[in-house]
Structure 1
Amino acid sequence: MTDCGCEKARRDLEEYLRSEVCKTSEGEIREHLDNCPSCRDEALVATTLTEVVARACKEAAPEELRDQVLARLRTAAAH
């Protein structure tokens, strides 16, 4: 397999991390990440950021905040 290079690896990184690239590109990008510390670090940052955002989206707002937002929405809808 031929190393795809930094430009391609970085261009397709998000799709690669979501398993949305073809198998050929996936192998090339994986090989590149295995051999390029800079791109591997970028992939780690992207993976970590995605995981943190996903966790934050699962958190529920405090009940008091929820009640305040709903009250304001009701007030706005009444006008």
Structure 2
Amino acid sequence: MTDCGCDKARRDLEEYLRHEVCKTEQSDIAEHLENCAGCRDEALVARTLTEVLARACKESAPEELRDQVLAKLRAVQAAH
């Protein structure tokens, strides 16, 4: 394994976090993140953001709110 450097680690960070790089690149980026606080912090932010977005996409609006929005949309459509 060799440290791939900041440029490569940051360029391939999203693919790394989604496990879309080859095993060698995965190991090289992991090693870099262990030794570089700046890139490690960037990876933490990216990972946290990805997790928050994934949770948000699983949530749904309350049925009452959905009904209210649809009623408003129908009223606007009927007025035009």
Same fold (TM over 0.5): yes
Structure 1, 2-11 or 63-72: larger mean CA deviation = 63-72
User: Does the residue aligned with 1:60 lie in a helix, a strand or coil?
Assistant: coil
Task: List, as ranges, runs of 4+ consecutive aligned residues in structure 1 with deviation greater than 6 Å.
Answer: 76-79
Q: CA RMSD in A?
A: 1.6
What CA distance in whole angstroms lies between the structure 1 residues aligned with 2:23 and 2:37?
22
Query: Identity of aligned pairs, percent?
Result: 78
Letter in 2 for 1:11: R
Deviations 1:15-51 (A, max 9, x none): 0000001111111000000110100000000111111
Which consecutive unaligned segments of at least 5 residues does structure 2 have? none
Aligned to 2:64: 64
User: Residue 73 of structure 1: CA displacement?
Assistant: 4.7
Q: How many residues align?
A: 79
Q: Which runs of 5+ in 1 are unaligned?
A: none
AA in 2 matched with 1:17: L
